Each structure stands twice: as C-alpha cells, then as structure tokens.
Amino acid sequence: MLIGATALPTLETTRLRLRWMTEADVPALFELFSNPEVTRYWSWSAYTEMAQAEKLLRDIHQCFAERSLFQWGVARREDDRVVGTCTLAELSGQRWRATLGYALNRAYWGHGYGREAVSRVVEFGFTELELHRLEADVDPRNAGSIKVIEGLGFQREGYQRERYFLNGEIQDAVLYGLLRPEWRAVK
C-alpha cells in the first residue's frame, strides 16, 4: 500500500486537487475545524486553538507513516487553498476495507465540491488500493452528507441509536456501505 511513499499521491478532479498537507495548511485546517457548523456531526468538537490544527496535521502524517489513515487536503485548483479534507481510515491490512470521512469548509457548501472530492477518493480506494468495501457512518440529520453518499451508490445498511455523545448531545448514526462491484455498476 504505497510502499516507500513519504506522502500521499495527489488526486486530480476537474476543480480540485486532493493533496498532501503541510504546515502551510494549518490555518486552513483550523478554519475548517473551528466552525461549529462543520463539526456538528464530526467526531470532535470545534477547535478553539491553532495548536489543535497543528496536532491534527502531525497525527495525519504519523497515521500515514503507519498506513492506517490517508487524509488528503481538498484544495481548489485555481488557488491551491485547502477547503476541506477527505479521508480513508481504518485501512485493513489485507486491503479489504476502509472507512470514508470528509469535511468541507462551510463557505464552500452547496457547490458540489464534497461529491467531487469523495468520488475521487472512492475511485482511488477501489482502483489503486484495490479495496473491496468502503464504509461510512453519517448522522441522520446531516442531509448534505447523506446526499453525497447515496449519490455515489452507497447503500444504507443500518441505524445505530445513540452511537455518539458529542457537543453535549447524544447522536445516532446511519451506516452505509459500498462494494467494489456496486461501484463499478454505478460509475
């Protein structure tokens, strides 16, 4: 799985470049994850200090070195500004499956960037990593994220009541899965 690579490969789309993030991207990461609207359905509360974004970048690099998580910065091609992240996590040792995650800066919601980025990472997972299965869990109130996932062919597989406790509230999760043969059929 990317044997010998010291950074993630850059993935191109029509309007985006999914790329390795550096220290120069820390302010963009802070802007992204300090917005409570973005982190409302995320796995942690909104950042309050730049040091949290710095630690996130260190963790992203460390997990890549371990090959347990691939997290790209989603940058607009026109200015290379990171406006989100897209992640393959929980990568199995046998390249069997991974969990998909993504976040987009609030200022860029509603422009199709999420679907464009996620679609490219799904393609990478199934073609380059030769994964068999991708999974995602989404808060059932997160209509935008559900639209992205279902639009890419992910199937609803279950509902977990009160799965998370975040931001002072108990949250449910809808589980989704996509198999490589299903992806080929939708593609």
User: Could you report the per-residue pLDDT of 101-136, keeping only the tens digit for each?
Assistant: 999 999 999 999 999 999 999 999 999 999 999 999
Instruction: Average the pLDDT over 9-16 and give the result.
Output: 97
**Cβ distance 108 to 83 under 8 Å?**
yes
Assigned token pair, 76: 């607009």
**Cβ distance 39 to 45 under 8 Å?**
yes
Task: Determine the residue type at 140.
Answer: P
Which domains are seen in the chain, by residue range? 11-186 (3.40.630.30)
* pLDDT at residue 137, rounded to an integer: 94
Q: How confident is the model at residue 93 (pLDDT cuts 50, 70, 90)?
A: low
Nearest to 26 by CA among 73, 66, 77, 65: 73
More confident position, 45 or 53: 53
